[in-house]
Structure 1
Amino acid sequence: MLKIDNINVYYGNIHALKGVSLEINEGEIVTLIGANGAGKSTLLKTISGLLKPKDGEILFQDQSIGGKVAQTIVKQGISHVPEGRRVFANMSVEENLELGAYLRKDKKGIKEDFEKVYDLFPRLFERRKQLSGTLSGGEQQMLAMGRALMARPKVLLLDEPSMGLAPLLVKTIFRIIEEINQSESGTTILLIEQNANMALSIADRAYVIETGKIVLAGTPDELNESDQVRLAYLGGY
């Protein structure tokens, strides 16, 4: 469904992504793990059109999207939940969700998706008239995910969904990620997550990125058996 082929991305003179290649098949949860500054967020921003690759190719359903503007990529079916949630603080929960559907014209479908989001996140229904800036961190994360789902994405890009959340909420968020993937629409997910244990527990496949390069790829079981991965990301032996 999504294929990244040998892309290079720069911030000025800094070579942030160095010949990165990866593939995501329809219906999969694929996770990308790595340390801070390894290039994880840069990759998501490049896929979603916020950054342009210098070279290489990004194919979505066999169509090149590398360098296209962000709204075109959303329209084609890729939604991005950014690191830090980025909700519109002075707007209500409901208004934030409406913005997620801003490219859509199908009123009936939008209404149905409001109901689906509220089913997934009952807390958002309770808070629907509340200003999103007054929500807790966990509620803002739910809102950021709900807002992305309002675009009816085929692929959902999730950047550090557990960051700053209490352990109990982390489990809830990961359970919901699995529900989104296993739902009727079967949304394909690319997950970036520093909590490597949690990410590998729900992923079909995983990649490890270090200093802008993919250094390992495999199933969660294969990565769990790697001494390199266990030492660096899974709390040792």
Structure 2
Amino acid sequence: MSMLELKDINVYYGAIHALKGINLSVEEGQIVSLIGANGAGKTTTLRTISGLLRSKTGGITFFDEPLHKKNAEYIVCKGISHCPEGRRIFANMTVSENLEMGAFTRKDKKEIAATLKMVYEHFPRLKERISQMAGTLSGGEQQMLAMGRALMSRPKLLLLDEPSMGLAPILVKEIFNIIKEIHDMGTTVLLVEQNARMALSISDYAYVLETGTISLQGEARTLAESEDVKKAYLGG
């Protein structure tokens, strides 16, 4: 049994057929990457998993429980947290208020404090800026805050959408190191990423999306060696 299973997922935006019969699975304990060009359907896939979009057909299961008819809040409570593209932090709230918002589905005050401590250990820069307005943080710090906020729900599966977008190369390295740390702590990760080289370097398995369909899939290191992938996504 896979942790997450998508079967025959078809998503439409009006007349546009954005996802065409997607089948995808994520095994517990893995980092799985979804790579592909802009507009291939990567973000749509994550939004469908987290209940923000609905598939016309098929189904999504998480530990064998059907999720495709559930709302987004229920899905977060079940252990799936989505760190969206473009960060979507609450700009007029402080760093600590943003993190508290990430724990809105939880009632266990002691455990929330322990998670907050863990987030600050992963992101010491956030601890230094605890009372700063989130909108005044740098791009890299905002990305760290978005990831920290997603971790506050203590997810079993973390959906990460373009975490390196718009960041300087040195920060990209730092963000990817943090993703590895989060994974080493026991969180399974489904990663959507334009930086295919970096994504494949930390992943166990990967899918290549092209205009709403999966064109290739396999172990990440095998795909990284594939001539088609090199040509299309690795500048080789």
TM-score interval, normalised by the smaller of the two chains: over 0.9
Q: Are 2:44 and 1:42 aligned?
A: yes
1:62-101 correspondence to structure 2 within 5 Å: 62-101=64-103
In structure 1, list runs of 5 or more residues that go unmatched. none
Q: How many correspondences in the alignment?
A: 234
1:10-49 correspondence to structure 2 within 5 Å: 10-49=12-51
Q: Are 2:121 and 1:116 aligned?
A: no
- Quote the Cα distance in structure 1 between the aligned partners of 2:9 and 2:20: 7
Q: Are 2:220 and 1:220 aligned?
A: yes
Tell me how far 1:221 sits from its aligned partner. 2.0
Partner of 2:142: 140
The answer as to whether partners of 1:51 and 1:67 remain within 8 angstroms in 2 is no
- Quote the Cα distance in structure 2 between the aligned partners of 1:149 and 1:181: 11
Tell me how far 1:6 sits from its aligned partner. 1.0
In structure 2, list runs of 5 or more residues that go unmatched. none
Partner of 1:233: 233
Q: CA deviation digits over 1:177-212, x for unaligned, max 9?
A: 0000001xx000000000000000000000000000
| Structural RMSD (CA) | 0.5
| Amino acid across the alignment from 1:219 | E
- Quote the Cα distance in structure 2 between the aligned partners of 1:113 and 1:221: 33
Q: Give % identity.
A: 66
The answer as to whether partners of 1:53 and 1:67 remain within 8 angstroms in 2 is no
Q: Are 2:198 and 1:181 aligned?
A: no
Tell me how far 1:67 sits from its aligned partner. 2.8
- Quote the Cα distance in structure 1 between the aligned partners of 2:14 and 2:183: 36
